[in-house]
A and B are shown apart, each in its own frame.
Chain A
Amino acid sequence: MPDIAAPQAHIDLPDTGTQTRRVESASVFWLLVVAGSLLLPLSWLLPWFVEQTASGKGNSPMDVIVSSPTGIGWFAIWVMGLCMLALFAGVGYDAWAVLTRRGQPFRYGRICAGLAALGALCVLLVVVLVASRTELVFGSTSPDVLIDNAVWMMLTGFVLLAFAYGLRGWVMNHGGLAFTAVAFAIGGLFPLMFNQAPSFVVWGAQSAGIYVLLALGLNVVVGFAGLLDLGYAAFFAIGAYTTASFAGSAHDFHLPFWILIFLGAAVAGLFGAILGFPTLRLRGDYLAIVTLGFGEIVPDLAQNNVLGLTHGPNGLSGIDTPAFPLHGGPLDFGIFGANPRPYYWTTLVLIALVVLLLRNVERSRLGRAWVAIREDEVAASATGINTVTGKLLAFAIGAAVSGFAGAFFAAELQSVTPESFQFAVSVTALTTVVLGGIGNITGVVVGAILVSFVIFWVLPSLQGWMGTLGSNIGVQQLGTIQYSDYKFIVYGLILIGIMLLRPSGLLPSRARKVELETGAESEPLAAVQERA
């Protein structure tokens, strides 16, 4: 019999000390290492999957390097390849040692860091030599052919590995900071690197960027406050229609873009609070269904041209092109053109802004109130937390971020239609949050990038890649499958798989991990039978 009066010696909650911080940040370390290790072989395999840039063989990056007259290409290829193989061995050993708790992990960490740095230097050397058109070394070739996606992927992979292994201690102790640094370095250089694939940059600006913002906002509602919101696309739509109404030919208003994105956020936030009010006494699943109903009504209203404002199924078009700040003033940079880069970098700035804001909110009094409401609303209310304000603010802030994303989305596409705000958008946002880690900002950003990469880049491009691969290896049927039809199956499998296997997501938030994996409720008797 346990002595009730005795203080409990050991509580199974992780404390906030360095031990758990290491554990949490270790996932960032592994994320970087795995991403780096995946990029390396992908860059080698890329020529098999994408169409060659010029006609005939010998123009894929590897072939150009190998065919250099001086033989330096051969040398570079061998060094890079050996570095890659040695790194695989190192990462594999560490993963094995950590997973099985045998052996000593990171014994060869320094060697790994050195090899990765050597590989990165090698790639850089090749890039510099080719970019400076040293035809003596590499023969006559257009630098565009060589300095292409495969080379950038390889460089990124080596740099990631060098960074993760070289600064392992720091990365493990400052996971969030390390991730932010890497994300902004790669994110900022992304449009320059993937020069050859402008549609990839468009993907980054329109799909990845927007879904990162949506995931960040939904994370406030679902992750911080624990309220499942299935109508999240409604606020996205409200933000988008705000921009479309006030910056375009539709109603002949022409407010500047930089004011409008905040106006869109404010309008959506207001609607978030309005929706939140009647749902205050609902919890859990009923709340989810009410928000779902709201999320269906808003596109429906837009579809039915409510009050003549939304122009029905055709939506609003002719939205003004965003201009750089200070447009019309003495320092005029003009307006955004057809190039997706300004949009991309703007998204990045907006994401940085939102992340900064949400991190501070999470650690504020309000963020702690959310934790309390999420874990036990009655207890939170009893300790003097105003649950009404807390929940309303969660709804409003989440909706405002969504409206922010929507306002930007409308300006980017220059037209909005009700079709863009269907239930699938809400589910995609939910999938990103669940995959990345409910309640963890770093996690949901990673989840959003992964989901939008798979759904909006890999699946649509897969038919082309598989077609090329099929004609390379002689299996033509590979190119005839409509791979993008499988996206709903992918959503379903992610949601089910994550909830069953790793309910706290890829990069778990510390508090949510405890709640989701051990269960916040007391164990009913029925659970005992199931285990027996």
Chain B
Amino acid sequence: MPNGEAPAAPATVSVPRRPRPNRPLATQLRLRFAASSGQAFLVLLITGFAAMVVAEFASKGVAQAGAQVVNGLQIGAIYALIAVGYTMVYGIIELINFAHGDVFTFGGMLSVWIGAGFGALGLDLTKLATSNVGGLIAALAIIFPLTMLCTGTLGVVIERVAYRRLRNAPRLAPLITAIGMSFLLQGIMFVAAGSGNYPARKDDWITGRAFTIGSVNVSWPQLFVIVIAVAMMLGLQMFVRYTRVGKAMRATAQDRDAALLSGININRTISLTFFIGSAMAAVGGIVYAIYFNLLQWNLGFKFGIIAFTAAVLGGIGNILGAGVGGFLIGLIYAFGSDLAGGEWGNSIIFAMLILVLTLRPNGLLGMRVPDRA
């Protein structure tokens, strides 16, 4: 704690113990709260989640509960893909990239626009994707890299324009530009895509049932989303852990000045972080557009906050944590919506957000100290 911590007990007995300062009641309560809140949150989370699972399986039956598990994993996969961007950016420059949720939506929209662009050039991707498996793979192989490249570049441009100049400004300043960036992107999408639902494609690219476990059906689109997300997360984890650039990123996150002294180009590393984070969000956007076939201009606001909750829950700065947090939040969202009614889903997640941030800001796997200005 930054202040008000009790002094360490004196080593020798001869020194008389200083009487404990008579703190105001509010301070005492606060310190007690701070000391026990982390464990309290863990207990709360575990018992709450277990109770949720038990209640779900008991009241809705195995079939529906199993379907909710798959649903939760599928939506959690998308949260995880977005959460990676939050966690990487926060880890490296300690900024909540508020615009990240909108980068996710923008990625989804871009995938649609790129598809439309190919359509204008005479290559109908939807026709190609729905023809056979090879065609589908070809269409995905066109859409994914292009969209990731464009969205990643968008992320780099956002950092260059809005955050780099404010890197040493007070913390409020880049956060405010991040909110501005978020609204700018939302505004652009509002003008481009209209205020209602924006239909992504004429036909679903992926349909059908993949397999059945017991009485639970898993559809191809769900499997597709989960597999893509897990593969991307694992790939990213390997990249950060085993490549030279990944090592540079970790070094910059740990201590920017020391990284600079050891010859790392921190500007390039930060740009790369934004590129990767945005590209991962773009993957989330693409699979969202493929799965739901619908986008909304302000989708990124809700998804961004939920994904940020996931990133904090997993421990901010920790890529693996973002994945775990994403899937966990997805499951909580699915169970909560099923148990309490769909209209309560958001409230549950926001309550979760407040609880995590106030009780255990380090998250489940995190080690970073969040208590900084």
A binding-site residues for B, Cβ under 8 Å: 222, 226, 228, 230, 278-286, 288-290, 292-294, 296-297, 300-301, 303-304, 377-378, 381-382, 386-389, 423, 427, 430, 434, 438, 485-496, 499-500, 503, 515-516, 519-521, 523-527, 529-530
Q: Is the CB of B177 within 8 A of A521?
A: no
Closest to B192 in A: A485
How close is A434's CB to chain B, nearest CB, in angstroms? 6
Task: Give CA–CA (A230, B305) in the complex, Å.
Answer: 12
If over half of A's interface residues share one DSSP class (helix, strand or loop), that class is named, otherwise mixed; here it is helix
B284 at interface by CB-CB < 8 Å? no
Given contacts A377-B373, A489-B187, A529-B260, contact A516 B344 (CB under 8 A): no
Question: What is the chain B residue whose CB lies nearest that of A495?
Answer: B180
**Is A499 touching B372 in the complex (CB atoms < 8 A)?**
no
B188 contact set on A, CB distance < 8 A: 489
Residues of chain A within 8 A of B173, CB atoms compared: 499, 503, 516
Chain B, range 166-216, C-beta contacts under 8 Å to A? 166-177, 179-188, 190-191, 195
Q: For residue B161, which residues in chain A have a CB less than 8 angstroms away from its CB? A: 496
Stretch of B124-132, B218-226, B346-354 with 4 or more beta carbons under 8 angstroms from chain A: B346-354
Contact B168 A524 (CB under 8 A): yes
Would B162 and A500 count as touching, CB distance under 8 A?
yes
A230 to B172, CA, bound (A): 12
Most buried by B among A279, A281, A489: A281
A515 to B1, CA, bound (A): 25
Q: How far is the CB of A234 from chain B (nearest CB, A)?
A: 11
What chain B residues lie within 8 Å of A222 (beta carbons)? 172
Given A300-B347, A377-B373, A381-B3, answer yes or no on A284-B171 (Cβ-Cβ < 8 Å).
yes
Q: Indicate which residue in A294, A515, A525 contacts B260 across the interface (CB closer than 8 Å).
A: A525
Cβ–Cβ contact B184 & A496, under 8 A: yes
B136 within 8 A of A: no
Beta-carbon contact of A492 and B185 below 8 Å:
yes
B353 touches A289 (CB 8 A): yes
> Do B308 and A499 touch (CB < 8 A)?
no
Q: How far is the CA of A489 from the CA of B1 in the complex (A)?
A: 41
In the complex the two chains form, is A499's CB within 8 Å of B187's CB? no
Among B162, B266, B301, B347, the most chain A Cβ lie within 10 Å of the Cβ of B347
| Chain B contacts for A284, CB-based, 8 A | 171-172, 175, 372-373
Q: Tell me which residues across on chain B come within 8 A of A301, comparing CB atoms.
A: 347
B341 to chain A: closest residue by CB:
A304
Are A288 and B190 in contact (CB-based, < 8 A)?
Answer: no
Q: By the criterion CB–CB under 8 Å, are A228 and B175 in contact?
A: yes
Task: List the interface of chain B (C-beta within 8 A of A).
Answer: 1-4, 24, 26-27, 30, 33-34, 94-96, 161-162, 164-177, 179-188, 190-191, 195, 256-257, 260-261, 266-267, 301, 305, 308, 343-344, 346-347, 350-351, 353-354, 357-358, 361, 370-373
Taking CB atoms, residues of chain B closer than 8 Å to A288 are 96, 175
Nearest CB in chain B: distance from A189 CB, A: 35
CA–CA, A442 to B94, complex, Å? 33
Specify which chain B residues have a CB less than 8 angstroms from the CB of A489 in the assembled complex.
Answer: 183-184, 187-188, 191
Interface SS, B side = helix
Evaluate contact between A377 and B172: CB separation under 8 angstroms.
Answer: no
User: Known interface pairs A488-B187, A492-B181. Does A303 touch B343 (Cβ–Cβ under 8 Å)?
Assistant: yes
18 contacts between A and B (CB under 8 A): A283-B371, A283-B373, A285-B171, A288-B175, A289-B353, A290-B353, A292-B305, A378-B2, A381-B2, A438-B172, A485-B195, A488-B183, A489-B184, A489-B187, A495-B180, A499-B173, A499-B174, A524-B257
A295, closest chain B residue (CB): B350
Q: Are A526 and B167 in contact (CB under 8 A)?
A: yes
- In whole Å, how far is B94's beta carbon from the nearest beta carbon of chain A? 8
CB pair B175–A423 under 8 Å, yes or no, is: no
Contact A296 B180 (CB under 8 A): no
- Chain A residues contacting B353 (CB-CB under 8 Å) are 289-290, 293
- Give the residue of A296, A382, A530 whose beta carbon is less than 8 angstroms from that of B305: A296
Smallest CB gap from A527: residue in B? B168
Known A290-B357, A377-B373; contact A280-B30, beta-carbon cutoff 8 A:
yes
Q: Which residues of A contact B162 (CB under 8 A)?
A: 496, 500
**Closest chain A residue to B191, Cβ basis:** A485
Min CB distance, A518 to chain B, in Å?
9
- Contact assessment for A527 and B350 in the assembled complex, using a CB-CB cutoff below 8 Å: no
Residues in A whose Cβ lies below 8 Å from that of B195? 485
CB distance from A423 to the nearest CB of B (A): 7
Residues of the B chain whose Cβ atoms lie less than 8 Å from the Cβ of A382? 3
Residues in B neighbouring A280, C-beta threshold 8 A: 30
Say whether B27 contacts A388, CB under 8 Å.
yes
Check A281 against B172 for contact (C-beta < 8 Å).
no
Whether B347 lies near A515 (C-beta < 8 A) is no
Bound Cα distance A529, B167 (Å) = 12
How many Å from the CB of B311 to the closest CB on chain A?
A: 11
B350:A300 contact, CB within 8 angstroms: yes
Please give 13 more A-B residue pairs, beta carbons under 8 A apart, in addition to A282-B371, A492-B182, A495-B180.
A281-B1, A285-B94, A286-B361, A294-B354, A300-B346, A304-B344, A381-B4, A388-B27, A489-B187, A500-B166, A521-B168, A521-B373, A526-B256
